[in-house]
């Protein structure tokens, strides 16, 4: 049975086509649905294996990136009762997976789904204005950290990806929460130098995130949020320095490094 991926669109989200393409290239069957159709109950999560929250500027980021989207999911009543957040929790309890990229990551932390350490869903971290004080739109390097529970990241070491955000700096509520994030391997990807050395220094770390965190997962590994855009590196030709990279590694092939994240989850779901 094919892996079915639901991709949310509309209301300022603007990376849904790239997200759908990434799932398609990975062997999944993507379905792109407007957020309003999901909120209205016209589409149900139970028909899918993975929910995707793409990047963009949902609701214009008017109350902070991802905040209005998170509030819609948390509070807006659905025709049959409950909210979409209730359905998302049931989806996860049934073995579903969630990937949120950039704006989608921001919504996941503001919903309390990441890092997912509070049983009541109380928000414990946030993504706020970059320490540089400006929008960052460029390529960075990230390193996947060992002992994380995310099947999305298996076998990935250092990876080049683009960032496009003004509010990507992870802040953590208190030292106890940070210690638990570290102990459980939830800060699963960190900004690094091109050689793979972790760093909190600009410009290799584009936003000043705590723990140099570029991606965060929950303890189950089912929810992954990341600030860089893997769906924007599906072929080597997406990289601005692709000719030199191809000469340095002629055997690398034409697939972009970001595609591995999508392939990993499809492979994981196909063997469950």
The catalytic residue positions are 102, 229, 231
**CB 73 within 8 Å of CB 87:** no
DSSP string, 211-263: GGEEEEE-TTS-EEEESS-GGG-SBGGGSTTHHHHHHH-GGG-SB-TTHHHHH
Phi-psi map region of 208: left, alpha, beta (phi>0 left; psi -120 to 50 alpha) = left
In whole angstroms, give the CA distance from residue 63 to residue 56. Answer: 14
CA 213 vs. chain centroid, Å, equals 12
In whole angstroms, give the CA distance from residue 190 to residue 216. Answer: 9
**CB 192 within 8 Å of CB 198:** yes
Residue 54 φ/ψ, nearest 5 degrees: -75, 175
Reported in sequence order, the residue ranges of the chain that DSSP labels E, i.e. its strands, are: 4-9, 29-34, 50-53, 97-101, 125-128, 136-144, 158-165, 169-172, 187-192, 213-217, 223-226
Residue 81 φ/ψ, nearest 5 degrees: 100, 155
CA 166 vs. chain centroid, Å, equals 16
In whole angstroms, give the CA distance from residue 218 to residue 186. Answer: 6
């Amino acid at each position: 049975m094919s892996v079915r991926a639901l991709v949310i669109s509309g209301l300022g989200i603007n990376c849904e086509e790239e997200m759908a393409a990434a799932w398609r290239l990975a062997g999944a069957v993507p379905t792109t649905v407007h957020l309003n159709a999901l909120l209205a109950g016209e589409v149900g999560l139970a028909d899918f294996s993975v929910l995707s929250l793409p990047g963009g500027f949902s609701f214009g980021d008017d109350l902070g990136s991802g905040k209005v989207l998170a509030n819609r999911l948390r509070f807006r009543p659905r025709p049959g009762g409950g909210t979409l957040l209730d359905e998302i929790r049931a989806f996860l309890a049934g073995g579903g997976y969630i990937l949120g990229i950039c704006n989608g990551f921001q919504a996941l932390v503001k919903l309390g789904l990441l890092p997912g350490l509070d049983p009541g869903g109380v928000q414990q971290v946030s993504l706020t204005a970059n320490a540089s004080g400006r929008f960052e739109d460029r390529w960075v390097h990230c390193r996947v950290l060992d002992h994380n529970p995310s099947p999305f990241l298996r076998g990935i070491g250092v990876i080049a990806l683009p960032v496009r955000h003004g509010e990507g700096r992870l802040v953590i509520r208190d030292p106890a929460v940070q210690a638990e994030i570290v102990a459980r391997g939830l800060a699963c990807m960190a900004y690094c130098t091109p050689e793979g050395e972790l760093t909190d220094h600009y410009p290799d770390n584009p936003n000043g995130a705590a723990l140099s965190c570029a991606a965060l997962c929950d303890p189950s590994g089912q929810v992954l949020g990341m600030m860089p855009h893997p769906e924007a590196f599906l072929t080597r030709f997406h990289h601005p320095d692709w000719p030199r990279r191809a000469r340095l590694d002629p055997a690398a092939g034409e697939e972009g490094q970001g595609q591995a994240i999508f392939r990993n989850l499809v492979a994981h779901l196909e063997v469950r």
